[in-house]
Amino acid sequence: MHGVEFEAGTVFAEYRIDRLLGRGGMGTVYLAAHPRLPRRVALKLLNRELYSDHEVRGRFEREADVSAHLDHPGIVSVLDRGVDDGLMWISMQYVDGRDASVFRGEPLDPVRAVGIIAQTAEALDYAHDRGVLHRDVKPANILLAPSRTGDRVLLTDFGIARLRGDARQLTRTGAFLATLAYASPEQLSGAPVDHRADQYSLGCTLFTLLTGESPFPAENPGAVVAAHLAKPVPRASAMIVDLPPGIDAVIARAMAKEPAERFTSCEEFARAATVALTRADLGSQGVGGSQPLLVQEVGRAASGSAISSEAPPAGREQWSADPDANSLNPTLVSTPHSVPQAAAYHGGNLNPVGSGSIPRFGEAAAGAGGPVPVVPLRRERSAQRAVSSRWRVLAVSLLVLALVAGVGVVGAGAIYWKFLRPNRVPPPPTWGAHASVASGFTELIPSGPTGRGWREANCSATPSLVVLPGDPAPLRQITCTDADGLIAWYTEYPNAADADAYLLRHTTEDATRELHHTSLAAYRPRDPAAPFTLAARERGNVFSANSVVEVSWPGRSFEETRDNWWQQAPF
């Protein structure tokens, strides 16, 4: 039997079932009466056939654990949990309303859309301050209930969230559970994920509410992945004529491919979106003071462009550039990488966030600490080019004058060396410690991280690896993603025995097709819900003897991946 079927009036775990609220891949949700209090609850039950799945069961328990750490009016509360008759259940606060996905296909009033985003942003920042990432922000997880001031917004479904400092990892390296349409590039590429991934998803959500369509609609999941990784953010104002163009720059910054280029918090993003709606020209006037809010040029560099030099308000943590300093990254078993330093959080509270109203002009961007200036990267680079150009013109003039005045070859050469000599081209970056991985797959992985691999794939060293209990710990890994959305993970283990142990635990060898005269083998995942579609191992190559290759090709079966990638790959 798929799922759980209860008739109205059935008593389960002392709760009296009223009616079915919804059904999903993991569980079923019923409206039920509390056994001892005059209140109704949402009773979520894990599908019976999934109870034996350790990972799914752990994720179900995780939702209750994570939500229990959060006490916020904008987050659905977990009341209790247990196991009865072989069924795991969670009782949660019941929200008598609907979720924001009901607006799919129709643009929402911009003021209402930004109000929903503002309340969601406040809830997300509250969770982030307590070390919790949601990792699946989307309209379907934003519940709306009526209130005196408009929408009451509550964030729900922390099923794939994780707690800071929690060593239990329920998803292997490369596992991806968030909805593709709203997933951040770092989630899709296997890079470390922090609070800014939730902001990216919130930016996608605002785009959807404003336009009625997700930012990168496509039938092919691979095309959606490729768009998140490489395509520019579409302009919402090009789809909805009444939207001010300034909103495009705000969404584009929240959805920047590089996390360091996004806003420093979700609430800062919501404030900028509010300002975009209340101003016809974001860049022409000052906001709440003499310094301009240049949101039209939001593609700033993370370094040298801090939002404010003030200390954050009480209760707000500074997000460190060191992955070890904030524990929101997965368990690190390889050398931690360095990420660009995010700009310091700008102090100030957005009072209208909770009510869904729009701040008055001058309040939204200024907050408690004054206006929020943003340093535009393009303008800064243009200035640098202009200075460089003037120096070159001056240098040519000096060189001509020196030759005419008879300064001589040495003097003219000195002038040339100082002013005209082109900048020395730095050597291309190398794989460093990850060169041992790349050396085993020279036709698949480029010689350096700036090159392109097989099928024009972009490759990067995976800075942090997640290890399931009982699995051998890998040494290092390189991740490659091509334009079709295919992701390949090249993982090196300390020895061949560890690589074999990993494959034995998670795969079965496929013997239906063989590449003759090679020792290359393909492996089928044991778990149909595994995050990889196919694994490969080449024992005949001494350079890759300790490595395992895993491939995820969204929308493709094992057989399709085997025939269209593994059989053709230049191992």
Residues with a known catalytic role: 136
Task: Give the side-chain half-sphere CA count within 13 A for 490.
Answer: 26
Task: Give the whole-angstrom CA distance, residue 425 versus residue 376.
Answer: 26
Residue type, 264: T
Structure-token pair, residue 20: 């079915």
Q: How is residue 280 written in tokens?
A: 């016809």
8 Å CB contact between 109 and 277: no
Write out the E strands in 338-450: none
CA-based nearest residue to 288, from 364, 346, 374, 375: 364
Q: Which two tokens stand for residue 104?
A: 């799919």
Compute the distance between CA of residue 204 and CA of residue 208 in angstroms, rounded to an integer.
6
What b/e sequence results for 401-428 when a residue is b if at least 16 CB atoms lie within 10 Å of its CB, and e otherwise? ebeeeebeeeebeebbeebeeeeeeeee
Instruction: Give SS3 for 86.
Output: coil
3-class DSSP state for residue 315? coil
> Are 152 and 143 spatial neighbours (Cβ–Cβ below 8 Å)?
no
Query: How far is it, in rounded angstroms, from Cα 335 to Cα 327?
Result: 15
Please identify which residue in the block is written with the tokens 């200024």.
Answer: 366
φ, ψ at 48 (rounded to 5°): -60, -40
* Pick from 322, 315, 375: nearest CA to 345: 315
Cβ atoms of residues 479 and 459 within 8 Å: yes
Beta bridge partners of 292: 286
552: CB partners within 8 A, 6+ apart? 174, 176, 486, 487, 488, 489, 531, 532, 533
